[in-house]
Amino acid sequence: MKRSSEALGVPESGAVAGIVGSASPGKEQSVTSLDRWAIGRVAAGMGMPPVNLRLWDGTMPYTHPEPCGTIIFNDRKALWRVIVQPELGLGDGFSVGRIDVDGDLMEILTRCYSAVEANSTKAFKRGLLGRLPEADLNTLTGSRKHIAHHYDLGNEFYKLWLDQQMVYTCAYYETPSATLEQAQVAKMDHVARKLQLREGMQVIEAGCGWGSLALHMARRYGVRVRAFNISKEQLTYARERAAQEQLTEQVEFIEDDYRNIQGSCDAFVSVGMLEHVGLDNFRSLGEVIERTLAPHGTALVHSVGRNRPTPVNAWLEKRIFPGSYPPSLSEMMTIFEPSNLSVLDVENLRMHYAATLTEWLRRFDGNVDAIRRTHDEYFIRAWRLYLAGCAAAFKSGSIQLFQVLVAPPRNNRLALTRQHLYTENPAAAWGSGQ
């Protein structure tokens, strides 16, 4: 059975219209001067981007001397929806095929994002970039619904374009030529090194995805992990892997919300969960870290972020990641400062996420026929837009990836420098019996 568009909140039921080609529905509408005026508004709103804007009759009321591609409005409705509600209008219009692009999707989005960031009119930018997060969105029940929406889309689907280990967060490219598989392993080691993992340590992981980091830490560093998640499909998969690898003694996968975590640990880690926590709950997350982390421990939070508090991308929040909000560093500090946790290290890995997403989109496109067997055209177009759009946003510097390492204030059992992150055998640098 195909995933219905309805499940993703398609704006116009059944309207997966005119996926480029001959049967564009707007062909018969005649273009008016008002339509051409609207195109001028869209171009100005987007900061005069280096693309051409084409209408359904083939005319191009806005052209750029060095265009990297063309954005095509297949009918009047698509155009005017962008004027009224820029961001949702563009995303939804593309997803249903009322808007199309001629050229490389990611390149066009990257150049458009840069133009918006640099030149857009404020009102349009606000509309284009999104809306403020709703308060109290991520209650215990709300979070479960939001997480299921995205992460329970089917493990088979994710297998078609993630790396072999199913790591669905920013990879770490030690060199630009590393493969995605290498970069995901390097990311897990980078995190483990920052946490100075040693054999026998107790680790708590909040938001463990398909379990790859928990299993990697147990296998490679000899630690014991209690890993929390509220996505049923991910947990089923993670538990199967633990059994296959005979790591069930070392790694426990627990279906529960991060707010319910009890017990204590030597290291606390959360990779790619904070985006789903919501500002209102940052204080709760800080309390969980403060309450569970030993005085000699360290905690790492890895999250998509912003340069400053910014409304969430409305289309992404509505169609792809309900309840999500990437925070700025000052907002992230509301996790740590009230708990008097000391920030040791912050690293911005945005170009690594651009590379990761580029590779995910490449694999997605390479397997699109297989994806088409279980997912409809609307879903595929929306997901291509999501992957390409996020890569573009990282490349153009409008979103960031922060890894923040913290420790209780009186923890002096820390590495003197960060040299150990960059040596062949880091364990030796902090005296581990790995």
Q: Return left, alpha or beta for 132; rule: phi > 0 is left, psi -120 to 50 is alpha, else beta.
A: beta
Exactly one of 334, 367, 374, 434 binds its own copies (CB under 8 A); that residue is 334
**Could you say whether residue 122 binds its own copies (CB under 8 A)?**
no
**Could you say whether residue 418 binds its own copies (CB under 8 A)?**
yes
Exactly one of 240, 256, 337, 377 binds its own copies (CB under 8 A); that residue is 337
Count Cα atoms within 13 angstroms, Cβ side, for 181.
3
Exactly one of 5, 24, 95, 114 binds its own copies (CB under 8 A); that residue is 114
**Could you say whether residue 103 binds its own copies (CB under 8 A)?**
no
Q: Least distance (Å) from its own copies to the CB of residue 137?
A: 23
**Could you say whether residue 173 binds its own copies (CB under 8 A)?**
yes
**Could you say whether residue 428 binds its own copies (CB under 8 A)?**
no
**Could you say whether residue 48 binds its own copies (CB under 8 A)?**
no
Count the site residues for its own copies by CB under 8 A: 49
**Could you say whether residue 395 binds its own copies (CB under 8 A)?**
yes
Q: 208 catalytic, yes or no? A: no
**Could you say whether residue 400 binds its own copies (CB under 8 A)?**
yes
Q: Least distance (Å) from its own copies to the CB of residue 392?
A: 12
Residue 54 phi, psi (nearest 5): -110, 145
Whole-angstrom CA distances from 392 to 66, 91, 147 are 19, 14, 24
Exactly one of 139, 397, 430, 434 binds its own copies (CB under 8 A); that residue is 397
Cα dihedral sign for 348, 351, 353, 356?
negative
Exactly one of 58, 412, 431, 433 binds its own copies (CB under 8 A); that residue is 412
Exactly one of 59, 123, 340, 366 binds its own copies (CB under 8 A); that residue is 340
**Could you say whether residue 419 binds its own copies (CB under 8 A)?**
yes
Q: Least distance (Å) from its own copies to the CB of residue 306?
A: 9
**Could you say whether residue 181 binds its own copies (CB under 8 A)?**
no
Length of the chain: 434
Q: How far apart are CA 49 and CA 160, in angstroms?
A: 33
∠ CA 26-29-35, nearest 5°, is 95
Exactly one of 344, 370, 374, 430 binds its own copies (CB under 8 A); that residue is 344
Q: How far apart are CA 275 and CA 258, in angstroms?
A: 13
Q: Least distance (Å) from its own copies to the CB of residue 327?
A: 11
Exactly one of 347, 362, 377, 430 binds its own copies (CB under 8 A); that residue is 347
Count Cα atoms within 13 angstroms, Cβ side, for 205.
32
Residue span binding its own copies (CB under 8 A) among the ranges 32-40, 88-96, 357-365, 392-400: 392-400
**Could you say whether residue 352 binds its own copies (CB under 8 A)?**
yes
Q: How far apart are CA 155 and CA 180, in angstroms?
A: 19
Residue 279 phi, psi (nearest 5): -50, -40
Cβ atoms of 274 and 281 within 8 Å: the answer is no
**Helix intervals (H) in 329-412:** 329-336, 350-366, 368-372, 377-395
Residue (126 or 149) nearer to its own copies, CB: 126
CA nearest to 294, candidates 264, 254, 331, 251: 264
Exactly one of 23, 34, 118, 123 binds its own copies (CB under 8 A); that residue is 118
**Could you say whether residue 343 binds its own copies (CB under 8 A)?**
yes
Residue span binding its own copies (CB under 8 A) among the ranges 46-54, 250-258, 264-272, 332-340: 332-340
Residue 229, beta-bridge partner list: 255
**Could you say whether residue 296 binds its own copies (CB under 8 A)?**
no
DSSP label at residue 132? P
Residues in 300-319 at the binding interface with its own copies, rule: CB under 8 A: 307-309
**Could you say whether residue 111 binds its own copies (CB under 8 A)?**
no
Residue span binding its own copies (CB under 8 A) among the ranges 89-97, 111-119, 127-135, 137-145: 111-119
Residue 315's Cβ-count burial label (10 Å; 0-12, 13-18, 19+) is buried
What is the per-residue burial (b if ≥16 Cβ within 10 Å, else e) of 29-65?
eebeeebeebbebbbebbbebbbbbbbbeeeebbebe
CA nearest to 206, candidates 308, 312, 287: 287
Residues in 136-165 at the binding interface with its own copies, rule: CB under 8 A: none
Q: Which residues are catalytic?
A: 390
Q: Name the site residues for its own copies (rule: CB under 8 A).
A: 114, 117-118, 172-176, 307-309, 328-330, 333-334, 336-338, 340-348, 350-352, 395-398, 400, 402, 408-412, 414, 416-419, 421-422
